[in-house]
């Protein structure tokens, strides 16, 4: 079975459901000053050690659901995905993808925790989850064949394949400038970074173990 | 790794292509040898405006697709060695470590550690490339290599037993153990708030993040596979 995905497709349309994980609500609150009522999440979940009291109060008054997830053995992000999955089921929504903003900068342990959540996510939801911050996107490819459409015009210059959790002994790619064929990709032998595209608009990746895809998002701020 | 007395640690400094933190001045003046990897020279050049002559690296190496021409020229004129390392199958950082190792041998320097600034922020693939270089580094030099940027530090623990002294007073609140590259099936720790004993640490089962210390000032880690230690550096900018 082949999994097909267009990683940057979500940058075009709008979200069905929006949530903040703990301090994510602070970020939303601060950046939407003056127009906060147009940016109300359906829910905010977390252990609430980061959200500011006035932020929590504001969104509670405005009708956003405030869901406490105190479990200290999982991150706010992981727990937020669980709540989200439940909401999607309750509302019987048809969802193609979960888009996550943040998680790829700042404290190194929390960057790694974001990656770890992608591994945890397979037991929470079958939906693909992408994480985006600044110019970077990451997406965990499960074992099997994948087809990535990279012709939205919003792709940046670089991409890579990162065997974060374990060696991938049999990796085959097409569509990259530097492809591999039945090659071992692992920390210590070969990690694909600063790769790029061959211009065909499609990348295929076949892997025997989970392999993290990462790519640049074109800077459209100019 | 304990220096004989505070401040006597002998280390070399490598600067990568990321904004330089304020601590770089302190790290610079006590380093035995200082190098920039490609665009790291831009960062050094920009942050030392007005006092550049006091911050001249011994060498700048790389494939030079990032260093600005005027920056390269400036340091060349000032006598810094400009070493081209064009190999596209290794990062500028990895290649810089090879050059550094050669310099250390040529100069017969006694070095305890290599300190790297940058590499933990920005492009996600390049953050991962920094980690990858730590894996490559064991075939380049036996010296411990730490990478520091902003409040984060990373250091790759090889299989075996490690003792980390975390009582300098400069440790921040958090720490973690990240099994990058492969599961670690038998990990035992002491000195952390949440220790493990003969536990499997791997992406998919358990990754130690947002951990902290038990106050003893020492952390021990025993691991059967390479395991990335990460910790906070206290913010001294206040």
**What is the per-residue DSSP string for chain B?**
---SSTT---EEEEE-SSPPPTTHHHHHHT-SEEEEETTHHHHHHHHTTT-GGG---SEEEE--SSS-HHHHHHHHHTT-EEEE---TTS-HHHHHHHHHHHHHHHTT----EEEEE--SSSSHHHHHHHHHHHHHHTTT-SS-EEEEETTEEEEEEPSEEEEEE--SS-EEEEEEEE-TTS-EEEEEEESBSS--SSEEEBTTTB-EEEE-B-SSSEEEEEESS-EEEEEEEP----
Quote the minimal CA–CA distance from B28 to chain A in Å: 23
pLDDT reported for residue A72: 86
Which chain A residue is nearest to residue B176, measuring alpha carbons? Answer: A109
% of chain B surpassing 90 pLDDT? 92
pLDDT reported for residue B200: 97
pLDDT reported for residue B23: 87
Hey, is the C-beta of A84 within 8 angstroms of any chain B C-beta?
no
Hey, is the C-beta of B120 within 8 angstroms of any chain A C-beta?
yes
pLDDT band at A222 (very low <50, low <70, confident <90, very high): very low
Verify whether the Cβ–Cβ distance A164 to B176 is below 8 Å: no
Quote the minimal CA–CA distance from B232 to chain A in Å: 8
Verify whether the Cβ–Cβ distance A160 to B230 is below 8 Å: no
pLDDT single digits (tens) A54-80: 999 999 999 999 999 998 889 999 999
Which chain A residue is nearest to residue B173, measuring alpha carbons? Answer: A107
Residue A215 has pLDDT above 50, yes or no: yes
Residue B151 has pLDDT above 90, yes or no: yes
Arithmetic mean of pLDDT, B53-77 = 97
Q: What value of ipTM does the predicted structure carry?
A: 0.93
| Mean pLDDT over each residue of chain A, to the nearest integer | 94
pLDDT single digits (tens) A15-43: 899 999 999 999 999 999 999 999 999 99
Hey, is the C-beta of A123 within 8 angstroms of any chain B C-beta?
no
Residue A6 has pLDDT above 80, yes or no: no
Quote the minimal CA–CA distance from A166 to chain B in Å: 4
pLDDT single digits (tens) A87-140: 999 999 999 999 999 999 999 999 999 999 999 999 999 999 999 999 999 999
pLDDT single digits (tens) B109-138: 999 999 999 999 999 999 999 999 999 999
Which chain B residue is nearest to residue A132, measuring alpha carbons? Answer: B124
pLDDT reported for residue A10: 72
Hey, is the C-beta of A40 within 8 angstroms of any chain B C-beta?
no
């Amino acid at each position: 079975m082949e999994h097909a995905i267009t990683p940057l497709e979500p940058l075009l349309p709008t979200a069905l459901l929006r949530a903040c994980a703990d301090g994510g609500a602070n970020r939303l609150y601060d950046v939407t000053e003056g127009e906060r009522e147009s940016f109300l999440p359906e829910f905010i979940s977390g252990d609430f050690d980061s959200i500011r009291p006035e932020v929590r109060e504001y969104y509670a008054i405005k009708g956003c659901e405030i869901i406490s997830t105190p479990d200290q053995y999982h991150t706010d992000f992981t727990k937020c995905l669980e709540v989200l999955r439940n909401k999607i089921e309750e509302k019987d929504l048809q969802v193609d993808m979960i888009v996550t903003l943040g998680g790829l900068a700042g404290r190194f342990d929390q960057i790694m925790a974001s990656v770890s959540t992608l591994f945890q996510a397979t037991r929470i939801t079958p939906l693909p989850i992408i994480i985006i911050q600044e110019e970077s996107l990451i997406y965990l490819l499960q074992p099997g064949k994948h087809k990535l459409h990279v012709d939205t015009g919003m792709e940046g210059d670089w991409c890579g394949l990162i065997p974060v959790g374990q060696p991938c002994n049999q990796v085959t790619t097409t569509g990259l400038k530097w492809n591999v064929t039945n090659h071992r990709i692992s920390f210590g032998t070969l990690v694909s970074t600063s790769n790029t595209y061959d211009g065909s608009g499609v990348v295929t990746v076949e892997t025997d173990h989970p392999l993290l895809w990462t790519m640049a998002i074109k800077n459209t701020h100019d």
